[in-house]
Amino acid sequence: MTTLQVFVDGVGVYAPGLNGWAHARTVFAAPQTYQATHLQLPSIDSLPAAERRRLGVAVKLAMAAGYDATQQSLIDLQQLATVFASSAGDCDNCHHILEALSSSDRAISPTRFHNSVHNAAAGYWSIASGSQKPSTSLSAYDAGFGAALLEAASQIRSNAQPCLLVAFDTPYPQPLHDLRKIANPFGVALLLTPQRQTTTLCGLTLELTQEPAHPMSTPDLETIRCNVPAARALPLLSALATLQPQNLVIEYLPGLNLAITLQP
Amino acid sequence: MRADMQDFDCRNNRLAQLALEQDGFIQSVQAAAERYGRKRIGVFLGSSTSGILSSEQAYRERDPVSGALPASHSYRHTHNMFSVADFVRHYADLQGPAYVVSTACSSSAKVFGIAQRMIGCGLIDAAVVGGVDSLCLTTLYGFNSLQLVSSHPCMPFDAERDGISIGEGAAFILLERADQAQTDDILLSGVGESSDAHHMSSPHPEGLGARLAMQAALDMAGLQPESIGYINLHGTATPSNDAAEDLGVTSLFGTTTPCSSTKGHTGHTLGAAGAVEAVICAIALRYDFLPGGVGTRTTDPRLHCNYLLANQGLAINHALSNSFGFGGSNCSLLLSRKRA
C-alpha cells in the first residue's frame, strides 16, 4: 500500500475545555480531567481592525488554531501554504443569509456575502499572514479532517514545501441545527513539513485503510469526537500529546479510514 | 434523479447527473473502474454553493409556530458542501478518496491539482474531477449586493463592461495516469496555484496573484510563455477583474498570445467555471480552434492582451486556463495535446 510521510512541527487546538495546545496536551495526558467550559478564543491582532470586525466565530476559531500551531515555529508564515477544511464554514453567517433570503426584502450585506464563501477563513488567513502561497478549502461532511490530512500530505510529498492544516467546525443555530447536529465548536491545526528538523515533534506515516477508527478513552472526549467533524482528529491529538511510538486509525469516509504511524 | 439517488435530489445534483450522462462520460468512468479498481479512483469536485437552494426553499416553508424546517428537507444530501462529491461517488459506485474544494470561482480548477498529486503519490490511478454550480438566491443577491451583476449579457474585456452574468454549469473530466498516453490525448501538464493576500472580494490591482499562478503552471510544465497558443481568461467582465487579469497576463506573456473569455458564452458558472473552461481548452487543442469572445463589441483600449473577437482556426500545442476567486484564490491550468 502507498504510504505518505510528513513531520509535525506544531499543533494547535481550541474547543470548549481545550484552550490552546499547551493546555490541551495536559488534558490529553490525563483525559479524565477534561472539563467542557465555554470556548475561549484569543483576539486576532494580525488583521487590520476593519477586517477584524467582520470575523465570525468560525473564522476566529480557525485562525486561533492556526496561530497556536505556528507560534513556536521558525517557519515564515508568508511562505506557508495552507489547507483549510470545514463541513460548512461559518454556519451562523449561513443561517443569517437564509433568514434574510426568506424574508420579504431579501437584501444581504456585502460582508455577509463574502463571509459566506467556504474559503473565507483561508482568505482572511492569507491577508493576515501575507502569504501568496497556494491555499485550498475543503469540505467532506464528517470526513473533513481526514480529507485535509490526505490533501496536506500529498501536497508535501509532491512539492516538498511545508503546509499548515486547519480543520474547524461550529454549530448551526436552529432550525438547521436539528438537521445537522454539530455539538460544539472545534478547531485543530497541524504545521506539517517534508523533513525532520530541530523543531520537529514527530513523524507521521499515513496510509488508507479499511480498519475501524479508534475511539477516545473517555466518554466525554469520545462524544465530542463523534459529534464534531473536526474532532475526528482527537485520537491523533491525544497521541501527539504523549509522543509515544504508536499506530492509530482516524475516521475518514465510511469504509475508508486513515492509518497513522507516529514516530517520535 | 436516478431512482436509488432520491435523497440527493436538488437542482445542483440534477445538473451533476445531467452532465455525467453526456458524451459517454459515465461509461468511461465505469471502464476505468474495471481497469484500476473502484478504490483506486478518487472524486474531487468544485462548487461554490452546492445545493444551498434547497435550504433557501426550506427556510420559506418553516413551521410558523416552531420554526422547524420541513421534515422532507435532506440537508446532508443537498445543501452540505460535500453533497455533490458524495452524489457522484455513489452514482458511479467509486470507493476511493473524495472531497469537495470550495474556493469560490477557482474551485473546480484546483481539483485538477489534487488528482495530479494523488496520482503522483500513488494513492490513486485515476480521478473524476470537475465542478457543479447552480443558480440560487445566495449568489444572485450576494453578487448584487457587491454591485457586480451586469444588467446586460456580460461583455468581458469590453470598454463598456459593467459586471458578470451569473451562469450555472457542470463539467466532469476523467483524469488518468499519463504513462499510457497516446498521440492526440490531452495532457494536464501544469497546475499553478497562488493567493492574492490582498482583499476578500477584490483582486490584487496589478494581478500579482494571477501572475504567480500562471508562472507556477508554466514552471511545472517546463514551458516558456511563448509556447502557449491560447489563454482562456477568467474574464468575468467586472471592470476591476478584467483590468487586473490583463496586467497579470501581459506582464508574463506580452501582448501577442491569443486570449479570450468564454463567460459571454456560458455566463460565469462560478465554482464550475474552472472545469467548464478546462473542457473548452481541451476542445481548442483537439479541434485546432480558438474561441472568440461572445458579447464583447469593442475591446477596452486600456487593456492590452490579444483578445479574440472572432473564432480562429489554429493548431496549438498548449492552452492555459485561468480561474480566480473571492478570498484571493487563484489557479491556472496548463493543458497540452500530445503530439506524435
Contact A118, A86 (CB under 8 A): yes
Cα end-to-end distance, chain A, whole Å: 22
β B230-232/B186-195 pair status? unpaired
Q: Which three cell numbers stand for residue B36?
A: 484500476
Facing residue for A139 by CB, picked from B102, B120, B143 = B102
Share of chain A above pLDDT 70, in %: 100
Summary mean pLDDT of chain B = 97
| Residues β-bridged to residue A105 | none
Angle value at C-alpha B210, between B208 and B216, nearest 5 degrees: 100
Interchain pair A127, B328: CB under 8 A: yes
B77 neighbourhood in chain A, CB within 8 Å: none
Interchain pair B198, A127: CB under 8 A: yes
Rounded CA-CA distance B206/B259 in Å is 18
> Which residues contact residue B8 at a Cβ distance below 8 angstroms, ignoring those fewer than 6 apart?
B1, B74, B77, B78, B83, B86, B87, B90
Q: Which of B136, B268, B281, B318 is catalytic?
A: B268
CATH of region A4-263: 3.40.47.10
Q: Which three cell numbers stand for residue A170?
A: 461550529
DSSP assignments along A71-137, one per residue: TT--S-GGG-EEEEE-SSS-HHHHHHHHHHHTSSS----HHHHHHHSTTHHHHHHHHHH---S-EEE
Residue A47 has pLDDT above 90, yes or no: no
Rounded CA-CA distance B109/B112 in Å is 6
In a 3-state reduction of DSSP, which class is residue B320? strand
Catalytic (active site) residue B234: yes
Over the range A191-221, which residues count as b (16 or more CB within 10 Å of their CB) and which as e?
bbbbeeeeeebbbbebbbbeeebbebeeeeb
**Among B229, B42, B3, which residue's Cα sits nearest to residue A208?**
B42
Q: Which three cell numbers stand for residue A91?
A: 454556519
**Mutate: best of B59, B132, B166, partner A, most A CBs <10 A:** B59
A133 neighbourhood in chain B, CB within 8 Å: 194-195
Sequence spans of domains, chain A: 4-263
Q: pLDDT tier at A50 (50, 70, 90 boundaries)?
A: confident
**Mutate: best of A46, A93, A126, A163, partner B, most B CBs <10 A:** A126
CA distance B28 to chain A (A): 24
Domains of chain B: 3-337 (3.40.47.10)
B117 neighbourhood in chain A, CB within 8 Å: 154-155, 157-158
pLDDT at B156: 98
Q: pLDDT tier at A72 (50, 70, 90 boundaries)?
A: confident
Facing residue for B200 by CB, picked from A88, A123, A143 = A123
Q: Does A136 touch chain B (CB under 8 A)?
A: yes
Measure Cα distances from B120 to B111, B181, B199 in Å.
14, 15, 33
The mean pLDDT of A161-176, rounded to a whole number, is 98
B80 neighbourhood in chain A, CB within 8 Å: 87-88, 139, 141, 180
Q: Does A181 touch chain B (CB under 8 A)?
A: no
Contact B324, B238 (CB under 8 A): no
pLDDT at A69: 98
CA distance A42 to chain B (A): 22
Residue A45 has pLDDT above 90, yes or no: no
Catalytic (active site) residue B121: no
Q: pLDDT tier at A94 (50, 70, 90 boundaries)?
A: very high
- Dihedral angle sign, alpha carbons of residues B138, B142, B144, B149: negative
Catalytic (active site) residue B268: yes
Rounded CA-CA distance A237/A209 in Å is 19
**Among B245, B26, B278, which residue's Cα sits nearest to residue B131?**
B278
**Mutate: best of A154, A176, A178, A182, partner B, most B CBs <10 A:** A154
Contact B210, B204 (CB under 8 A): yes
Rounded CA-CA distance B330/B321 in Å is 11
Phi, psi of B225 (to 5 degrees): -55, -35
**Among B101, B15, B97, B109, which residue's Cα sits nearest to residue B54?**
B15
Tens digit of pLDDT at every position of chain B (340 positions):
999 999 999 999 999 999 999 999 999 999 999 999 999 999 999 999 999 999 999 999 999 999 999 999 999 999 999 999 999 999 999 999 999 999 999 999 999 999 999 999 999 999 999 999 999 999 999 999 999 999 999 999 999 999 999 999 999 999 999 998 999 999 999 999 999 999 988 899 999 999 999 999 999 999 999 999 999 999 999 999 999 999 999 999 999 999 999 999 999 999 999 999 999 999 999 999 999 999 999 999 999 999 999 999 999 999 999 999 999 999 999 999 999 8
- DSSP E strands in chain B: the ranges are 41-46, 98-101, 126-133, 169-176, 186-195, 230-232, 258-260, 289-290, 306-307, 312-313, 318-325, 329-337
pLDDT at A109: 95
Counted residue by residue, chain A has a size of 264
Q: Is the peptide bond before B291 cis (omega within 30 degrees of 0)?
A: no
Q: pLDDT tier at A247 (50, 70, 90 boundaries)?
A: very high
pLDDT at A254: 96
- DSSP E strands in chain A: the ranges are 4-15, 18-19, 81-85, 135-139, 163-169, 186-193, 202-209, 246-253, 256-263
DSSP B238: -
